[in-house]
């Protein structure tokens, strides 16, 4: 039990905190970009992609973008969002779906700093809860921590938060 007044929850980001920035920017983002066309073509009619299109169209209405109506318009919008490093929930969901395929295929494996598993175990043993808050989708966060060289770290993590709770720069989030 954590003593009164002590830290009860440790809230962590991923990029640069638990995971090298290069892994996120080069490996994960590069993988999503290179696999995007094939993923969209293969999964165009699947419900998760339809949900992403709905999200992106709702975001686009606020931003004055034209509606996504076909695979080419989806690819164009997503590439633009990636080029601008936007924290769009629709984009992050789609990237997470692409990474999910990569993790399942064995093309991707989560990377964390060597001291992260040690710290997570220590905090849990001290009675602290651990949460992740990242702009990457909850699915993407889970897959990263499930597939590390240190094994599945998700049992040590109490909660995962993504852009669905709001942007990290918003106080209400």
> In this predicted structure, which of 35-39, 157-161, 169-173 has the lowest mean pLDDT?
169-173
Instruction: State pLDDT tens for residues 22-36.
Output: 999 999 999 999 999
Strand, helix or coil for residue 103:
helix
Instruction: State pLDDT tens for residues 109-126.
Output: 999 999 999 999 999 999
Predicted confidence band of residue 158 (pLDDT cuts 50, 70, 90):
very high
Domains and CATH numbers, the chain: 9-20+110-165 (3.40.50.1000), 22-105 (1.10.720)
Instruction: State pLDDT tens for residues 69-89.
Output: 999 999 999 999 999 988 888
d(CA 90, CA 60): 10
Ramachandran bin of 32, using left for φ above 0, alpha for ψ from -120 to 50, beta for the remaining angles = alpha
Mean pLDDT of all residues belonging to the chain = 91
Mean pLDDT of 46-67: 86
Please say if the pLDDT value at position 2 is more than 90.
Answer: no
DSSP 154: G
pLDDT computed for residue 3 by the predictor: 67
With CA atoms as reference, report the closest residue to 125 among 160, 161, 147, 155. Answer: 155
Mean pLDDT of 130-148: 92
pLDDT computed for residue 162 by the predictor: 83
Instruction: State pLDDT tens for residues 97-112.
Output: 999 999 999 999 999 9
């Amino acid at each position: 039990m954590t003593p009164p007044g002590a830290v009860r929850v440790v809230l962590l980001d991923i990029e640069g905190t638990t995971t090298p920035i290069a892994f996120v920017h080069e490996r994960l983002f590069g993988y999503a970009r290179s696999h995007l066309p094939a993923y969209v073509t293969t999964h165009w009619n699947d419900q998760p992609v339809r949900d992403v299109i709905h999200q992106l169209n709702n975001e686009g209405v606020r931003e004055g973008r034209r509606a996504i109506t076909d695979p080419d318009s989806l690819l164009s919008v997503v590439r633009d969002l990636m080029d601008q490093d936007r924290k769009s929930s629709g984009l992050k969901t789609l990237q997470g779906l692409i990474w999910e395929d990569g993790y399942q295929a064995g093309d991707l494996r989560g990377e964390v700093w060597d001291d992260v598993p040690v710290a997570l175990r220590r905090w849990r043993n001290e009675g602290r809860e651990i949460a992740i808050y990242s702009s990457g989708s909850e699915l993407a966060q889970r897959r990263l921590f499930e597939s590390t060289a240190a094994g599945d770290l998700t049992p040590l993590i109490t909660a995962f938060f993504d852009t669905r709770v709001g942007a990290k720069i918003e106080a209400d989030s």
